[in-house]
Structure 1
Amino acid sequence: MHAPLPLTRDIVLIGGGHTHALVLRKWGMAPLPGARLTLINPGPTAPYSGMLPGHIAGHYTRDELDIDLIRLCRFAGARMIVDHAVGIDRKQGLIHLNARPPVAYDLASFDIGITAQMERLPGFAKHAVGAKPLDAYSERWQQFRAQVAAGQAPPSVAVIGGGVAGVELSMAMAHALRADGATPQITVIEGSEGIGGVPPATGRRLTRAMADQGVTFLTNTRAQEVTSQGVVLEGGSSVQAALVVGAAGAYPHGWLAMTDLPLTDGFINISDTLQVQDDPALFACGDCAHMAAHPRPKAGVFAVRAAPVLFDNLRAAAAGAPLRTFKPQRDYLKLISLGGKVALAEKLGLAVSGKLLWRLKNRIDTKFMRSLEELPDMPAPDRPAVMAQGVTQMLDDKPLCGGCGAKVGSDVLQQSLSRLKPLARPDLLTGAGDDAAVLDIGGQRQVITTDHLRGFVDDPYLMARIAAVHALGDIWAMGARPQVALAQIILPRMSPALQARTLDEVMAAATDVFGAAGAAIAGGHSSMGAELTIGFTVTGLAETEPVLTSGARPGDVLILTRPIGTGVILAADMARAAKGRHVVAMLDRMAQPQGDAAHTLRNAHAMTDVTGFGLAGHLMTICRASGVSATLDLAAIPVYAGAEGLAEQGHHSTLFQPNRDAAPVFGPDSPRAQLLHDPQTAGGLLAVVPAGQAQAMLADLLTQGHDAAIIGTLGEGPAQITLC
């Protein structure tokens, strides 16, 4: 087993389109040593366009439609940045993002697709939805179906655009509404004489299929305005519709026009190697690209066929090797859904339709999705032939978790602390046992703590935000005001250029979090090691007596400010078993500060932040220090989406069993109950408050946006935890 090779090149994939999804799969099977791969996409999933009509018709669920980019990135060893790209600085090699600092690249590739948002049509942005991006359309369609089913909207739809996409979607919507028991009134508005993109004979077949579905097809008709009542046509007539869908062609994303990229009609010009014209560091593929030498219609088949060439050329460009060329085929088999489980096939001007063709389309589409879901298990590195006793057993255990799941168990820690004989100092008021040490500095109470996290996401910026919030938790739990932070950063081995980029991201995130909390970063220490590790030593000032774990009283109420389940989800994510949307939602919550929550809870009798030892372990610390017992309402404890199901499947952090042994809980042993022992990273504040103040405090926390809840009460000792 060899040490990881140093990182020297940043390759950034902009957009989670079909080509990039397939590149991620191939990268996971054959990564380029020394290259750091990054994917930027607005969401954790990307809808597969080939199954969109089937989804709209009700044949596929949304989960079946979505490509889980988080799982693909985990498989590829790539970092995933959930954000919108909004610009590019080619001189500096930077991709500008909507919600965070720019990301640097040595090589980058665009696969951002197209949009059907008709921005120039008056009223469209306010009253209509484009068929692309698919996320917004899918969500709006499900809302509309529910409104129709509830009698809150008529089943009337107008589709602007009579190409293949508009035709497919009109029949899909008609089928779904009819299946819901409604009588659909769907109108397709097309500016030309017929269906574009297909031969006349195929167009006639599709026109008859629309008529069979009860769809009205208006040709040589142009939309002039969209209103809350429908679509106003040129000439003054109108189409009444409760839902208006735009499918009139493929529009490039508007931000591309604001760049200096070479464009044709808003699409990125590329050469036969998929490189952007006159820029060998950039590539583009899929619907956002324009290949001047081989112009083709916007179709997913070309994106899929381009994936092997893009994969090879990214590797070659990063390694300084020759590149391949890509020439798209002239024609391809078109399979067009006709609403129900019937499809039309067309190639070379010949067209046939039937149920068997829908089965063929379904087989092709589901095979594509399975290729991105059923990812192969790659072989582990060879082990030495001879090892010391116990090594094999440890290697066969679950991989070491990141975050607080990598902590030493509380029993081991307590044994070590019990053997210490610290020097007595009059200015050290409290030491081990509370969240932070309390010092008397000239009559002022100062608290100090340190914490670090082993990386559990490959995004240094997000990792630093979470690590900063996590370290501040100890200060907030003591009722103190953050003052100063020192950073401790271990980077994996990388080139000086990548070191600078990574440190810039880490410090930008840390400065943002600590600055918002009123704390200054006064310096720190950095080094290189085997993996990314980020930590902070933080001080705070207590304007009143610090909140300790020993002030709880019988009759007090327990408030928790944040869900539990981070350890389970992170462990499952390592095994590629967690859903990407659950992972992203959890990470987003973990990166949110809790200073306002701490201020609301500043008069708590006792408080701690829930981290590595789990909710039960940290609650037991309060119980033992205060001489009280606790009764928890298991159903009231907030849990991150997906965590309970993953626990039921047997996913647990490496620290789960030591936590369970150290803080037993009396009550049912259900998957939800097991989450009480789940190690938390950037977990919630656990506050013990007077019963008469609990509801008011909870209301304030909910208003601030925290997922807070009253989870139990305290009683007379001895120290124990019981579920009710």
Structure 2
Amino acid sequence: MLSPPHPFTRDLVLIGGGHTHALLLRSWGMKPLPGARLTLISPNPTAAYSGMLPGHIAGHYERKSLEIDLVQLARFANARLVLGAATAIDLHRKEICVPGRPPIEYDVASIDIGITTNMADLPGFAEYAVPAKPLETFADAWQAFLSTTGPAAVAVIGGGVAGAELVLAMSHALGGIARPARLHLIERDTALAALPARASRRMRRALIEAGIEIHEAAEVIAVTAEGVRLADRTIEAGFICGAAGARPHPWLAQTGLSHRDGFVTVDPRLQSSDRHVFAVGDCADMAFAPRPKAGVYAVRQAPILAHNLRAALRETGQTQKYHPQADYLKLLSLGGKSALGDRFGLTFSGPWVWRWKNRIDQKFMSKFRDLPQMQLPPLPAVRAAGAEALGDKVLCGGCGAKLGQSALLQALEPGGLPGDDAAVIDIGGARTVISTDHLREFVSDPVTMTRIAAQHALGDVWAMGARPGAVLTNLILPRMSPALATRTLREIMTAAREVMANAGAEIVGGHSSQGSELTIGFTVTGLCDHTPVGLAGARPGDALILTKPLGSGVLMAAEMAGRAHGADVSAALDLMMQSQAQASEILLDAHAMTDVTGFGLLGHLRNICLNSAVGAEVTLGAVPLMAGALDLSANGIRSSLYPDNRAPFPDLDATPRHDLLIDPQTAGGLLAAVTGDVGKRLTALRAAGYQACDIGRITDETGQIRIV
């Protein structure tokens, strides 16, 4: 999160990344409210646009074409992003529960979590079927089914518009790969009853022409491994989808908010029964003007919601009322690149309608694809000499913000060798290691940031083969009101204590202050019952094992610029939060070991080589990389520490994969020089959840690192 020009005084929390909230984030990025800290809670780093889902299922669009990247959008809006699913709201304490983390407090909140078609009360549904919503889960399941072979049998439970669009799309997709298929649309009443008569007849004709069997007045009793069981027969199916009506997420009815059948009741100002909580999209019940669940209403709600949230945060100002339109243009996919349109009783169809629908959908998605990139102000015309060399690139956070190794060695150990990862001291006859680390903010969620900073600091102790013990914290919070500072500190310390306790350590003290940006650091001591594993013991012939893939520096640099894919960023954060405790135990008898952090793989391998008076050979293709890192490297994305990390390796090839060998890592993996049964070690590491690889070997060419 960029340092705000004004201290934060109020917390606005958006629960869910639905269409209304996505549009709100975009407008907020254009014009934020000074003093308001914005937080988005979403279970996924992307949100699927429902209007293009049938086109994706049919094969007309790639998955990324219908995904709104919430990571990029949150960065643009300067919002904290919490990747998790809300499961409860405490209206009295004004807290939102997200399992696996401390409660998130709010002053004003808005709910936009959509609906589900999960038929939890139908026997066998959870085991053998997939709901059409959430869209992300359904799209993944469909792609997995498409990859199977043999005749296909598909059943869609729910004969409304959504079910008809999906089964037509499935029929087209299976026909496109010449896969024999039998498809069924099952409806307990009359199929397509919500459409006007002419539109219903046209859509029904499309279903019949596609060879889809329509089962009406068909009560589903259960879902089994064989298919869908009705009262009088079983419809065989290998892929079963639930699209029968809109169901609210169950936890909404437990919040204490007024609701109708689980949908949060809102007034014309989109405000719930609690004046601090708003609700929009399909999860809201517009009791003042009942309407069917449709994305067009969510889109029209966005500017009204934005205005009223600002008024609530300011605690002054006039609110606005939302007036839903009486009717709207319905554009429905017919499987192939043809669509059906209906408005005010006028029905039309054909390929030209699909092209029209496609233009509308693409225009909507372009709002989120074409976000302006963050730019620093240009260097002033009159400036001190040398300013050009520093350039105008955004300074990376995490380990990408640390000083280069050459500067450190010149200042701290001129003419000497790099030291071990942690200092070794004897205290009362006990061999103790001690190290300190802090990270400048690079991810906006303070809990995620804390977990990464804690693992990063623990890495030095684990690299020495020690057991973490006592911990001191060092925190700098950005300037904010006392209430928000208390909230933030509570989140950070709860997360920190959890990580340290899991590592067998205890936080015994620390220091906090306010500054220009969030910085989280820890000083960690550890006990060692044996000679600590250092940098000086590597021997020719040792294998080199790396326990985590590379690429966090490039990915975080791209994320700050709004150029990284949200799913790749989420995966990278998970890797950075992964503990190295088990890896340290498995590699405890390594001849030399270090954790790969700011100096990159080659920089830390060089430290082993210099201290051990050996060389190394790295197999380029064996080095594991984080998802998305290679593409970003190929597109010229670099961490701000990259030039310093390249300086010791002037002859290193300038290819995207070579560049990742010097990419600064935050909370990176362990690099160990080991002998013996390497395969057995790798098996143990992978069983413990590490993406460990054998990446090369130690040689007798002192000081030389060859890439092969």
TM-score tier by shorter-chain length is over 0.9
Deviation string 1:348-370 (CA, Å, 9 cap, x unpaired) is 11101010000000111111111
Mapped to 1, the partners of 2:343 and 2:267 lie a distance apart of 27
2:269 corresponds in structure 1 to 273
| 1:461 correspondence with 2:447 | yes
- State how many pairs are aligned: 706
Structure-2 separation of matches of 1:663 and 1:669:
11
Describe the SS at the equivalent of 1:677.
coil
Question: For 1:713, what is the secondary structure of its paired residue?
Answer: strand
Once the two structures are TM-superposed, the CA of residue 384 in structure 1 deviates from its matched residue by 6.9
- Which of 263, 287, 292 is the equivalent residue of 2:287? 292
Confirm or deny that 1:444 pairs with 2:430: yes
Task: Check if 1:302 corresponds to 2:263.
Answer: no
For 2:557, the aligned partner's letter is A
Contact kept, 8 Å, 1:29 with 1:378, in 2: the verdict is no
- Tell me which residue corresponds to 1:361: 357
| Alignment partner of 1:174 out of 171, 174, 182 | 171
- C-alpha separation in 1, matches of 2:580 and 2:341: 57
Map 1:128-147 onto structure 2 (within 5 A). Answer: 128-147=129-148
- 1:676 is matched with 661
- Superposed CA offset, 1:359-395 (max 9, x none): 000111111111111113467569878544444664x
1:203 maps to what in 2?
Answer: 200
Which residue of 2 is the match for residue 246 of structure 1? 242
Farther off after superposition, 80-89 or 656-665: 656-665
Question: In the alignment, what sits opposite 1:500?
Answer: 486
Q: Distance in 2 between matches of 1:25 and 1:114?
A: 22
Task: Supply the distance in 2 between the matched residues of 1:632 and 1:196 (Cα, whole angstroms).
Answer: 65
Structure 2 counterpart of 1:680, one-letter code = Q
Once residues 261 and 432 of structure 1 are traced to their aligned partners in structure 2, the CA distance between those partners, rounded to angstroms, is 60
- In structure 1, the residue corresponding to 2:276 is in which secondary structure? strand
Residue matched to 2:694: 710
TM-score, length-scaled by structure 1:
0.95
After TM superposition, the structure 1 stretch with the greater mean CA deviation from structure 2, 251-260 or 588-597, is 251-260
Matched residue of 1:341: which SS? strand
Q: Percent identity?
A: 54
Q: Which residue of 1 aligns with 2:28?
A: 27
Who is 2:405 aligned against? 410
* Contact 2:88 2:97 (C-alpha < 8 Å) held by counterparts: yes
Structure 1 residue 295, shift from structure 2 partner:
0.6
Whether the 8 Å contact between 1:665 and 1:721 is mirrored in structure 2 is: no
Change (3 A) 1:166 1:3: closer
Q: Deviations over 1:372-419 (max 9, x none)?
A: 11113467569878544444664x431100011111111111110135
Distance 2:649 2:402 in 1: 16
1:186-221 CA-to-partner distances (Å, cap 9, x unmatched) read 111112234122111211111111111111112222
Segment drifting more, 377-386 vs 213-222: 377-386
**TM-score in terms of structure 2 length:** 0.97
Gaps of 5+ in 2: none
Q: Given the alignment, which residue of 636, 639, 652 partners 2:638? A: 652
Within the candidate set 217, 221, 224, 1:220 is matched to: 217
Query: In the alignment, residue 534 of structure 2 is paired with which amino acid?
Result: L
Indicate the residue corresponding to 1:13 in structure 2. Answer: 14
Secondary structure of residue in 1 paired with 2:661 = helix
2:683 matches 1:699:
yes
Paired residue type of 2:449: M
One-letter code aligned to 1:627: A
In the alignment, what sits opposite 1:69?
Answer: 70
Whole-angstrom distance in 2 between the partners of 1:457 and 1:629: 36
In 2, distance between residues paired with 1:442 and 1:101?
38
Unmatched 5+ residue regions in structure 1?
A: 422-430
CA contact (8 A) 1:460 1:506 kept: yes
Paired amino acid for 1:220: A
1:428 is matched with none
Cα distance in 2 between the residues matched to 1:297 and 1:314: 24
Q: Which amino acid aligns with 1:229?
A: E
Moved more, 20-29 or 439-448: 439-448
2: distance between equivalents of 1:196 and 1:448? 71
Letter in 1 for 2:621: A
8 A Cα contact 2:583 2:685, kept in partner: yes
Report the equivalent of 2:251: 255
Is structure 2 residue 539 aligned with structure 1 residue 544? no
Matches within 5 A, 1:553-568: 553-568=539-554
Offset at residue 334 of structure 1 (A): 0.1
In 1, Cα distance between the equivalents of 2:414 and 2:201? 87
The answer as to whether partners of 1:410 and 1:662 remain within 8 angstroms in 2 is: no
Deviation for aligned residue 1:98 = 2.1
CA distance in 2, matches of 1:121, 1:35: 44
- Which amino acid in structure 2 is aligned with residue 287 of structure 1? D
Distance in 2 separating the partners of 1:583 and 1:388: 37
- Residue 320 of structure 2: aligned partner: 324
Deviation by residue 1:619-657 (Cα, 9 ceiling, x = unmatched): 000100110000001111111011111111000001111
Q: What amino acid maps onto 1:95 in structure 2?
A: I
Structure 2 CA distance, aligned partners of 1:2 and 1:242? Answer: 52
2:336 is equivalent to residue 340 of structure 1: yes
